[in-house]
Amino acid sequence: MLLLGVTLALGSAVAHAAWNTASKTIAPAGRPALWAVAIVESCLVVTVTAVVMIVRGHGITVTGELLLLSLGSTAMHALTMGLVQIAYQDFDVSQIYPLSRGLAPVVVALTGMVVLGQWLSWAQWGGVLLMAAAVGALLFETVRTRGSLQAKPLLWSACIAASIAGYTTYDGWVVVERGLDPIAYYAVGTVIQVVLWSVIVRGKYAEGLRQLRIHARTVAVLAVLIPASYVLSLYATLHAPVSLVAAVRSSSLIWVALSAALVLREPIGRARIAATVLAAAAVVAMVV
């Protein structure tokens, strides 16, 4: 079952890296673009959820607990998306993504022990530390290429990492401890997300629709990859400790480093290659 959890987390990591790369292209569009993504994503997720429930032979029972817990999760996810978009307006993906993804599992490993009572083995802790070393290698490359560590991208990365750790631990608790169905939980969350973003961008709906027309392909990609990434991670927490899932998902820094170089044409160096090797070793250490 642990292997299944890790496999799901790896799939989540690939999808996560892909949508982060795609989000860079619409970052300048601002919040109206996120509103457009939220609408398309919600329509897709609700449709898929309805099909799944028909196949299962039962629907979703919308309880007060489901609504309240989904509201908390949606607020944290929206905060993360907002932070990511603002950061990508001013900085490269390679400046923000590695540290934000690499710090998150270390925080989750600690909060997972406190909140969920999930303890890692020594080998799994070794994997978490290897992932941290991979992040360190990427920071070293930043110093080498830019002459110094810039405070602003570090601060943005730390804020995003804290937000990621928050919703990862929270959602793990909801699925594992409260026993909510991952698909139903996420589907309700996407509906709440539309309401939330509609309030945030009120008065700018026309601009949101314009961004939807301009970036239709990117919006569609995000609407598919964002829910795919996170639903996979939710199911992964049913088969592996949430801290382990978070660490394996951080292997997405491998894929985002490659996509940043190949798709966005951002520079890649030896330190980033070393970070990729360390991240791969971390994943192996966590599952053997």
Asked if pLDDT for residue 206 goes beyond 70, the answer is yes
- Report the range of poorest mean pLDDT among 106-110, 153-157, 259-263: 259-263
Whole-angstrom distance between the N-terminal and C-terminal Cα of the chain? 13
Residues 43-86 pLDDT 10s? 999 999 989 888 887 777 788 899 999 999 989 988 888 888 88
Asked if pLDDT for residue 10 goes beyond 80, the answer is yes
Distance CA 278, CA 132 (A): 9
Asked if pLDDT for residue 137 goes beyond 80, the answer is no
pLDDT band at 266; cut points 50, 70, 90: low
Sign of the Cα pseudo-torsion (162, 83, 233, 74, in order)? positive
pTM reported for the whole predicted model: 0.75
Domain count, the chain: 1
Q: Mind giving me the DSSP string for 216-240?
A: HHHHHHHHHHHHHHHHHHHHHTTTS
Q: What's the pLDDT at 128?
A: 75
Distance CA 21, CA 31 (A): 17
Q: Which domain holds residue 135?
A: 2-287
